[in-house]
Amino acid sequence: MTISTGSSYLDSLGNTGSSSTTTAKKSNGTLDQASFLKLLTTQMQTQDPFNPVDNTQMVAQMAQFSSTTGIAEMNQSLKGIAETLSSSRVGDAAGWIGKAVLVESKSATALADGAYAGNVTIDKDASRVDISLVDATGKVVYNGSATDVKAGDIPFYWDGKDAEGKAVEGPLTISVNAKDMSAQQLAATTSSWTTVSGVRSPASGATKLVTPLGSIDPAAALQIS
């Protein structure tokens, strides 16, 4: 590895591989402060007495190295701060384990009690809104409807049991049919409640909430209960 100091003479010393006294490399290919000072001392001892290194140039070299060292130390400090914040972030998110969060999704999964719940959101008043939950085979397992619905959130809830009282396994697809006052189709967004079962926080990534709907960014949670 070649390290440039800004001085052609000092660089020539650092690039000479034949003399062990003029190279100050560590095993990891970096130059620390002690090695730099040793290299600078060697430069002073071997300089041409009729053309010595200018004092201003030497001070500039030392200032440059000090600045570089300071930046390295600052980066290390910032890394430590980031690790601390990451630990704190995981601790905060861990408090969500066992709770239910409402997230935008086209699917719904059973909550701790086996029920399915969520919201349908429309941006205009509707004459009628039909909400269905459909299983993996395409069978409609739940139907709900409302008339003269105002724009906004429309909550839905189903206990998750079929006609025989058996629990229905998810995930279930949320299907919406909404019509405005002119019987025109309305756009709708869907969200569902899901239980947080854990927290995942890789060293080089963002913290995620582990849920039956998959890994979710905590910022994506619309509500928490």
- The whole-chain average pLDDT of the chain stands at 78
pLDDT of residue 48: 63
Beta carbons within 10 angstroms of residue 168's beta carbon: 18
Residue 21 in this model has a pLDDT that exceeds 50: no
Per-residue pLDDT of 160-204, as tens digits, reads 999 899 999 999 999 999 999 999 999 999 999 999 999 887 766
Spatial distance between the Cα atoms of 63 and 47, rounded to a whole number of angstroms: 20
More confident residue, 82 or 189: 189
For the whole model, what pTM was predicted? 0.59
Residue 88 in this model has a pLDDT that exceeds 80: no
Q: Which domains does the chain have, with CATH numbers?
A: 8-93 (no CATH), 100-224 (2.60.40.4070)
For the chain, the first-to-last Cα distance in angstroms comes to 57
Contact 145, 128 (CB under 8 A): yes
Per-residue pLDDT of 94-123, as tens digits, reads 788 899 999 999 999 999 999 999 999 999
